[in-house]
Structure 1
Amino acid sequence: MAAASAKLVKEIMSRYPTKARRVRLLADKGKKAVWSIQTEQGEFILKKVPLDASRIAFMVHAVGYLKRNGVCTPAIVSTTSGEGYTAVGGEYYVLFEAVRGRSPDYGAENELRMIMRSMATFHRASAGIEPPAGASPSMLLFEWKRHGETRMERLNQWRTQRSSASDTNAMDRLFLKHVDRFVEQCRSSLARLEEPYYNRWVEETSVRKTLCHQDFAAANLAIGSDGALYVYDMDSLTVDLPVRDIRKILNKVMKKGTDWDLPKMLLMLKAYQEVYPLTKEQYKILAADVQFPHLFYGQVSKYYERRETAWTLDKHVRRLEEMIATETSKSAVLQSFLDRLDELVKP
């Protein structure tokens, strides 16, 4: 395996105007892989990216577009023929500048603000992007209702299956105890998407376009030696409402604690608002997305779809208990958040 990897990297690097002196495999997940490449010009990062040609062409274009508009992200190195990526054996590889740093800490308020300001900069910088010829972006913009309805239906199906099963275990019993409440949350969340201002924002975004990173989280961020916050891993870029990214980082931060923290939520959103202001109606769409039980669904689906086969039953149960606690505390906070929108959106 190591010899095959070294041979592959040698072939890839032969297409770039820099020679590899030392190669180190950092991660290999099959569809994705990352290598550190030491050259006479310093370190570079080589990534295998699980995208088709049109999507990878858009990612290359988007990285340049975002950098020109002020986003701190490693530059893509072109091949000797001027391409932003190369293909070997039907798989695609991209060479990036290496930027070293440490991941930001969700527990440090100044670094949490830095994340949110950087996210707002990312969304603002992406506005107006147009795919070049031969490039096609992911577009989740029109999928919110369908995806939500599909997930709600899966919860209903698992409820029917497990409630009639004779071999239920601790995971089943915990799921069945709480699923009715979370199906109702699904319905309430989806009902909020019937508001005319939601459809209006979707239509505006389909024309103007903004990108979501989809995992704007500590694992994909680094505070560099220059003090700037760099964002990596652009292979999941999609055209969507910016609140998708905001909801995801809120969930990541809040599930680290035992309860949904309204003061911390407001701190994060105030930092975002300083850079890329949203309207009250747009924050109501954020509230609808936050209301949807993404954490509960995600944990349940890991178990019933067998996506974490190495986990013990006890671990599944423990994680689901944690997600239920976060989801339950969130419900009481959301109305208070909506009541305090004047703190975010100034007249």
Structure 2
Amino acid sequence: MQEKLIKLAELLLPNWEVNVQSIEVIQGGQMALVWKFMTDEGPKCLKRIHRPEKKALFSIHAQDYLAKKGMRVPAIIPNRDGHLYTKHGPFLFVVYDWIEGRPFDLTVSTDLQWIMRGLADYHTESIGYTPPPAAPVFSKLGKWPKHYIKRCQQMESWKLIAQKSPDDPFCQLYLNEIDSYISSGRSTLKLLQQSHYPEWVKQCKKQPNLCHQDYGTGNTLLSNDQIWIIDLDTTTFDLPIRDLRKVIIPLMGDTGTWDQELFDLMLASYEERSPLTSEQKNVMYIDMLFPYELYETASERFGRKNDIMPEELMAAFQYEERKKEQLSQFL
């Protein structure tokens, strides 16, 4: 497989004006293909964008916009024809600058502050991006209600699966406890619809910002005392608090409790660069109320068919209770 991937890179790289000295496969899975190759101008990255072409075009041009604006994302190197990508088969391939740096450690408060400030910069600097005509707008603005409804329906449907395994402790625990959390998810939907969310969406559509959607330690690096953001493949237009929730809630879930001091540090670091109004924070608290971590735990078992211990499900139930208790004080 390694030899095949090296040959694929050797086939593709002549599309760019680069003097290739060596090629190394960094990621060779079904989802991501990434090569690091050395040139006389330093290391570069060849990547296969594993997204449908139109969505790939949206993220490629977004990254080019941000890099040219001075945002710390890897600059895209055009091919010999001046295009930002080369198409091979159904996929688009892109060459970037390779960023050397160290990953952040979210157990270290200074690293956590770096991460949150970088996220705020990503949101503010991306305002003004307009995809080219060939790239349809990729947006989740206004789609949260459907997002909630779909997940509540899935949690309901998983009850049918659990009922087929009466001797399975995980399934029995799920059946005993899940109804109140499905009800909580539907209550969160009502709170969202009654909040500032619809008005904020309307405002944001006039001047949208990008959300990374996969922001965290795997897609950020510290290099020369600067934060660099990589892997923009899933970037989309949405309210900035979508990224905040996707960073904060899983981190809290990993600790198994609600750490208010940690939460305050993360939010304060973000607001150093991009303050939120009280109405906007209220929408964020409502979104965080939804039982996302419980949903993900159940999805691992019923959706992805992985072995998950009942203790993990119980921990998810307990975390959702602690989270709800804390967030309810803010609303």
TM-score (normalizing by structure 1): 0.90
Structure 1's unaligned 5+ residue stretches are: 339-347
**Other structure's SS at 1:76 match:** coil
- Deviation of residue 325 (structure 1)? 3.1
Give the structure 2 partner of residue 38 of structure 1.
38
Give the structure 2 partner of residue 219 of structure 1.
218
Give the structure 2 partner of residue 329 of structure 1.
322
**Other structure's SS at 1:36 match:** strand
* Closer/same/farther in 2, CA of residues 166 and 230 from structure 1, 3 Å limit: closer
1:288 has 2:281 as partner: no
Paired with 2:250 and 2:237, the residues of 1 have a C-alpha distance of 21
Count of matched residue pairs: 331
Runs of 4+ more than 6 Å apart = none
Give the fraction of aligned pairs with identical amino acids, expressed as a percent. Answer: 28
* Closer/same/farther in 2, CA of residues 28 and 325 from structure 1, 3 Å limit: farther
- Deviation of residue 161 (structure 1)? 4.2
1:277 has 2:269 as partner: no
- Deviation of residue 210 (structure 1)? 1.1
Structure 2's unaligned 5+ residue stretches are: none
- Deviation of residue 160 (structure 1)? 4.0
Give the structure 2 partner of residue 299 of structure 1.
297
- Deviation of residue 268 (structure 1)? 0.8
Paired with 2:251 and 2:43, the residues of 1 have a C-alpha distance of 32
- Deviation of residue 180 (structure 1)? 1.8
**Other structure's SS at 1:77 match:** coil
1:152 has 2:145 as partner: no
**Other structure's SS at 2:16 match:** coil
**Other structure's SS at 1:255 match:** helix
Letter in 2 for 1:213: H
Q: Pairwise CA RMSD of aligned residues?
A: 1.7
1:54 has 2:64 as partner: no
- Deviation of residue 147 (structure 1)? 1.4
Paired with 1:218 and 1:8, the residues of 2 have a C-alpha distance of 29
Letter in 2 for 1:2: Q
* Closer/same/farther in 2, CA of residues 151 and 103 from structure 1, 3 Å limit: same
**Any residues of structure 2 matched to 1:1-347 within 5 Å, and which?**
1-163=1-163, 165=164, 167-195=166-194, 197-224=196-223, 226-305=224-303, 307=304, 309=305, 311=306, 313=307, 315-338=308-331
Paired with 2:247 and 2:211, the residues of 1 have a C-alpha distance of 12
TM-score (normalizing by structure 2): 0.94
Are the aligned partners of 1:127 and 1:211 in contact in 2 as well (CA < 8 Å)? Answer: yes
Are the aligned partners of 2:161 and 2:302 in contact in 1 as well (CA < 8 Å)? Answer: no
Are the aligned partners of 2:32 and 2:49 in contact in 1 as well (CA < 8 Å)? Answer: yes
- Deviation string 1:282-309 (CA, Å, 9 cap, x unpaired) is 111111110001111111112112x2x5
